């Protein structure tokens, strides 16, 4: 029997929120000015949001607020006060979070709505869902990489009181959400902080051949979304696009509402596809949704920018730019000249009506901007058609009649966990983590990545003394293999495990109290409250994310309720992906427009993208030891012979910090 999932629409500004409500969205998700994973969107103030949520409630619709970035040390109070104001003034139906510290501070601040775990938290396998009730999580947003059979496995594993949310439409990241450090590693603008500069969208070169080897088309399940109606645990169809305008939001929301409500009506399907065709998105793909017909989302030789092409940029004899559009242009329409990495790229707002094949003279950005070239493609990326604007205006009229909502300041102070006290004289241990450990004695303590496929390389004879590292992602179709190999390791005396997602506790079985369990650096742990939650979950220590600044990293051990480790040396990945275009071969150099070299290596089902230089904090190790770190970790990742190593390593964000 089919159920009725909610259509969950994005809103980056008030007009987009009103467009979603007008189109029949059951719920809208949005961000605030801080702690949102789409900081490039306009986003909302608390006062503005309070009235908009009141309007949504009057229409029996829901609003979810995304506070889905990780919290840096010292931000616990700021985040808590913001949540306190939300709880008292706005009362959204749910908060979307990725950071365990955010979950803790939300409840401390008195937020009584639901807590939804973002796709950035990477809950990727069925056993992980068993952890959610104890954490107070009522909904999990699934990774985009899952196919329909894997979604069904996740649905069947849902414990009582936990539901699922899945993306049906919108932009795809090349790397797994929550497993990408590309933007941060190249300059402190972290995707986990909502600041991604999308280096994956650039033109790269392999063997001198330029291409967008990491730039994905959009996801569009369109008529295939019908299969989700047989999974009652999938409570929401999510549309990506908080940086999109109201036109996109209205058209895509309308399309999926039709597909949900009339899944077997051919006329309704045609109408829905027409709406999607007019939504001004990127070229679209079903991606991996159908396991028997997976589609690689990367077409390396094609552009993937959003919008509908309306013509070419022309230049008059007086060197004035203009365009003769292939369709009429309306006041308020937005045009994009070229692609984001092209010289002269910019966005222009239309100020007057221009008929099809008419002429519109463009006023471009002033001094300091590169001039665009004649012949550059011009795209319509957003528009303000009269009917949509009338609908939005009608809701704005209702909004104005609502009383102002007070947004009082907060004096909330979170209760912080009691710090762990390190015994005197304890010296930090150097731990070397291998893909394939050396046969002879290892320098320092040894660890090894657990592989579900290449078990012959695992040092089972030294199981008791080895640190066993689980990968950053475990997919549903490989979970049984990991359960089997973990059982073998345990039988051989293995007891030291590093889990690179907190939810991997679900893999460890009933004997986990007999184990020494640490949270790994790929779990993105960055603050004291998150460390406190890990302690409560049964972790004995944590390797913190090296993404933080040096000052923040040095301050953490004195405040932490757990002993800490940190990666000080080795190849740190730009990202981990489940997909890779066939154009890219393993261990071949791929060069960015700025001359940065990266390469791809496959481990199991995942492709690891590495730079050709190592992260190197070895000169900071004495300072880190004095600060209280008890593990200094070296990732012994192999550099292929085909890759020219950059001799000078990097210090990640030690000096510049992360935004």
Across the chain, which has 659 residues, the per-10-residue mean pLDDT values are: 88 95 98 74 81 96 95 94 94 96 95 97 97 96 98 97 98 96 94 92 92 95 97 98 94 98 96 96 93 92 83 91 95 90 89 95 79 92 92 96 85 96 89 86 82 82 94 96 94 96 92 89 97 97 98 97 98 97 95 94 96 97 97 96 92 94
CA distance 132 to 158: 9
Which regions of the chain carry the CATH code 2.40.30?
307-383
Q: Report the pLDDT value the prediction gives residue 368, as an integer from 0 to 100.
A: 64
Contacting residues for 393 by C-beta, under 8 A, at least 6 apart: none
User: What are the E-state strand segments in 273-413?
Assistant: 284-285, 308-312, 314-315, 321-323, 334-337, 346-349, 360-361, 377-382
Which regions of the chain carry the CATH code 3.20.20.120?
6-201+213-300
CA distance 654 to 631: 18
Taking the CA atoms of 436, 438, 441 and 444 in sequence, report the sign of the dihedral they define: negative
Backbone φ, ψ for residue 124 (5° rounding): -115, 0
Q: Report the pLDDT value the prediction gives residue 1, as an integer from 0 to 100.
A: 46
Correct CATH for 6-201+213-300 of 3.20.20.120, 3.40.120.10, 3.40.50.10860, 3.40.50.150: 3.20.20.120
Tell me which H or E stretch contains 499: strand 496-499
Correct CATH for 429-572+614-636 of 1.10.1750.10, 3.20.20.120, 3.40.50.300, 3.20.20.70: 3.20.20.70
- Whole-Å CA distances, 378 to 283, 324, 421: 16, 10, 61
CA distance 83 to 98: 15
Which regions of the chain carry the CATH code 3.20.20.70?
429-572+614-636
CA distance 247 to 239: 14
Residue ranges in 374-472 assigned as alpha helix (H): 386-401
CA distance 54 to 514: 51
Structure tokens at 287: 């991606």
CB 28 within 8 A of CB 56: yes
Q: Which residue has the tokens 């959400």?
A: 177
Structure tokens at 492: 């051989």
Q: Report the pLDDT value the prediction gives residue 4, as an integer from 0 to 100.
A: 95
CA distance 240 to 225: 15
Q: Classify domain 307-383 by CATH number.
A: 2.40.30
DSSP, collapsed to helix, strand or coil, labels residue 271 as helix
CB 264 within 8 A of CB 232: no
User: What are the E-state strand segments in 368-453?
Assistant: 377-382, 429-434, 445-449
Q: Report the pLDDT value the prediction gives residue 57, as an integer from 0 to 100.
A: 96
Taking the CA atoms of 360, 361, 365 and 368 in sequence, report the sign of the dihedral they define: positive
Backbone φ, ψ for residue 411 (5° rounding): -115, 20
CB 105 within 8 A of CB 82: no
Q: Report the pLDDT value the prediction gives residue 38, as an integer from 0 to 100.
A: 66
Q: Report the pLDDT value the prediction gives residue 40, as an integer from 0 to 100.
A: 59
């Amino acid at each position: 029997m089919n159920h009725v999932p909610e259509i969950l629409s994005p809103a980056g500004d008030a007009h987009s929120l009103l467009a979603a409500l007008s189109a029949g969205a059951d719920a809208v998700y949005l961000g605030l000015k801080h702690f949102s994973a789409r900081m490039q969107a306009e986003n909302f103030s608390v006062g503005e949001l309070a009235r908009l949520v009141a309007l949504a409630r009057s229409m029996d619709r829901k609003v979810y607020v995304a506070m889905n970035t990780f919290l840096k040390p010292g931000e616990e109070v700021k985040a808590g006060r913001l949540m306190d104001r939300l709880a008292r003034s706005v009362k959204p139906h749910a908060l979307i979070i990725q950071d365990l510290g955010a979950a803790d501070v939300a409840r401390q601040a008195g937020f009584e709505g639901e807590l939804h775990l973002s796709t950035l938290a990477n809950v990727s396998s069925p056993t992980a869902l068993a952890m959610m009730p104890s954490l107070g999580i009522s909904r999990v947003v699934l990774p985009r990489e899952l196919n329909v059979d894997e979604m069904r496995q996740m649905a069947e594993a849902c414990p009582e009181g936990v539901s699922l949310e899945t993306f049906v439409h919108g932009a795809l990241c090349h790397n797994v959400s929550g497993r990408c450090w590309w933007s941060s590693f190249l300059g402190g603008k972290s995707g986990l902080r909502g600041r991604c500069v999308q280096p994956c969208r650039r033109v790269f070169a392999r063997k001198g051949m330029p291409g967008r080897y990491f730039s994905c088309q959009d996801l569009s399940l369109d008529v295939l979304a019908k299969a989700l109606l047989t999974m009652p645990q999938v409570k929401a169809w999510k549309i990506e696009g908080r940086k999109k305008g109201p036109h996109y939001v209205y058209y895509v929301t309308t399309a999926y509402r039709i597909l949900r409500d009339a899944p077997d009506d051919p006329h309704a399907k045609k109408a829905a596809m027409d709406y999607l065709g007019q939504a001004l998105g990127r070229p679209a793909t079903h991606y991996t949704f159908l396991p028997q017909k997976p589609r690689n989302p990367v077409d390396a030789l094609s552009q993937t920018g959003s919008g509908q092409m309306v013509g070419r940029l022309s230049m008059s004899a007086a060197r004035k730019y203009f365009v003769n559009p292939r369709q009429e242009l309306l006041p308020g329409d937005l045009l994009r000249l070229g692609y984001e990495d092209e010289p002269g790229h910019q966005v222009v707002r239309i100020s007057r009506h221009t008929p099809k094949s008419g002429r519109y003279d463009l006023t471009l950005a002033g001094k300091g901007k590169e001039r665009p070239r004649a012949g550059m493609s011009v795209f319509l990326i957003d528009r303000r058609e009269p009917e949509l604007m009338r609908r939005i205006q009608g809701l704005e009229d209702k909004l104005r009649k609502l009383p102002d909502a007070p947004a009082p300041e907060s004096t909330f102070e979170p209760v912080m966990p009691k710090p762990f006290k390190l015994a005197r004289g304890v010296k930090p241990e150097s731990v070397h983590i291998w893909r394939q450990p050396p046969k002879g004695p290892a320098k320092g303590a040894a660890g090894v990545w657990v592989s579900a496929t290449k078990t012959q390389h695992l040092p089972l004879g030294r199981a008791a003394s080895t640190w066993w590292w689980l990968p950053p992602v475990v997919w549903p179709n490989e979970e049984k293999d990991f359960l089997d190999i973990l059982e073998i390791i345990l039988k051989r005396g293995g007891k030291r495990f590093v889990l690179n997602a907190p939810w991997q506790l679900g893999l460890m079985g009933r004997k986990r109290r007999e184990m020494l369990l640490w949270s790994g650096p790929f779990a993105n742990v960055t603050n004291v409250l998150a460390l406190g939650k890990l302690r409560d979950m049964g972790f004995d220590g944590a390797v913190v994310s090296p993404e933080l600044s040096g000052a923040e990293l040095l301050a953490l051990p004195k405040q932490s309720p757990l002993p800490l480790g940190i990666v000080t040396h080795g190849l740190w990945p730009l990202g981990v992906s489940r997909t890779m275009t066939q154009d890219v071969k393993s261990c071949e150099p791929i060069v960015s427009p700025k001359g940065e070299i990266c390469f791809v290596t496959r481990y199991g089902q995942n492709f690891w993208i590495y730079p050709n230089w190592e992260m190197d904090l070895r000169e900071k190790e004495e300072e880190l030891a004095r600060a209280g770190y008890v593990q200094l970790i070296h990732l012994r990742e192999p550099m292929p012979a085909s890759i020219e190593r950059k001799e000078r390593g990097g210090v990640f964000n030690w000096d510049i910090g992360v935004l």
